Amino acid sequence: MKLKIEAIVTLTPGIRKFTLAPVDGAPLPRAGAGSHLVLEIPGSGRVWKNAYSITSATEAAVYEIIVRRVEKSRGGSAWLHDHAKVGDVLEVQPPQNLFAPQRLAKRHLLLSAGIGITPFLSYLKLPCLAYELHHCCKPEDEAAFRALFPSGPQVTLHTSRNTLNLEMLLKRQKLDTHLSICGPESFMDVVLATAAHCGWPSTKMHKESFGGATGGESFVVHLHRSGVMVNVGREESLLDAMEAAGLTPSSLCRGGACGECKLPVLDGVPAHHDHYLSEAERAANNAIMICVSRAKTPELVLDF
């Protein structure tokens, strides 16, 4: 669907909020809390497809997203920061939800860092969610983030590691609480490891993972049935590279979580960065999630 940029607000030098509205006035598809949009962003010679959490409430008439300008940007966020203007029209895929709040949890412990706050902003707008949110950010961003939250004891902002005692926080949660986290991989890894150490089962830990691995060594992929060879550059994903070459592999979340883009590996060794394949499948190395995974060998042959 086509959406126009109705407003742009700079929250910090590297973080901008965009309001997207329907071009033709027709009502937007409803997006439940935790949903994301995939924007098709024009780049030089190619289109970038980036996923962003919807931060606005489900019943809003517009969508709001918040975009951080990624330092080693592949292009999408750089364009949104440097070139996007009010009135621009973008092609946007309808909302998908891979990170809905856990319906059976009576309480939600939400932990986020930096731009990872975005999926939780839609959670906080739900009328009846019982939650405790701890958000970590840089001191210079504190005021901007604080303005995004409702006031109250259920939200705590941390600008230094010292004020967030993860182990104590995780240990004191009741059994009816689920943990949801979003932020840089290193942050999420620490939280998950600490929770596991405290006895949390993985089934009660939920992470938003689109955005995944951003790059690595370049490699070549041979698409066996298409008879096409594609170079995958250091800053692009295998999926991006195939799309840039005019191919149309199936994909959905673009974050290694949903399983849609799985392709069989006929030769070469994949480097798995996804959250979907089982241990056994990872070890067998005969499948790859092309949206986030790469290659250990210089070349891969895929059944596509």
**Contact set with another protein (CB under 8 A):** 29-32, 34, 58, 94-97, 100, 102-106, 170-177, 195-196, 198-204, 252, 258-260
Is the Cβ–Cβ distance between 92 and 3 less than 8 Å?
yes
CA 292, CA 258: separation in Å to the nearest integer?
Answer: 12
Distance, in Å, from the CA atom of 54 to the CA atom of 236, rounded to the nearest integer, reads: 24
Beta strands in 114-163 (DSSP E): 131-136, 155-158
Residue with Cβ nearer another protein (54 or 244): 54
Least distance (Å) between residue 207 CB and another protein: 14
Contact indicator for 92, 2 with CB cutoff of 8 Å? yes
Measured from the CB of residue 46, what is the shortest distance to another protein in angstroms? 25
Measured from the CB atom, is 99 or 145 closer to another protein? Answer: 99
Indicate the residue among 97 and 159 with the shorter CB distance to another protein.
Answer: 97
Contact 120, 180 (CB under 8 A): yes
Distance in Å, CB of 203 to another protein, minimum: 4
Q: How far is CA 284 from CA 223, 269, 279, 288, 302, in A?
A: 20, 10, 9, 10, 15
Q: Is the Cβ of residue 30 or residue 83 nearer to another protein in the bound state?
A: 30
Q: Do the Cβ atoms of 204 and 176 come closer than 8 Å?
A: no
Residue pair 105/178 in contact (Cβ under 8 Å)? The answer is yes
Q: Cβ of residue 195: shortest distance to another protein, in angstroms?
A: 8
171 versus 224: smaller Cβ distance to another protein: 171
Least distance CB 261 / another protein (angstroms)? 11
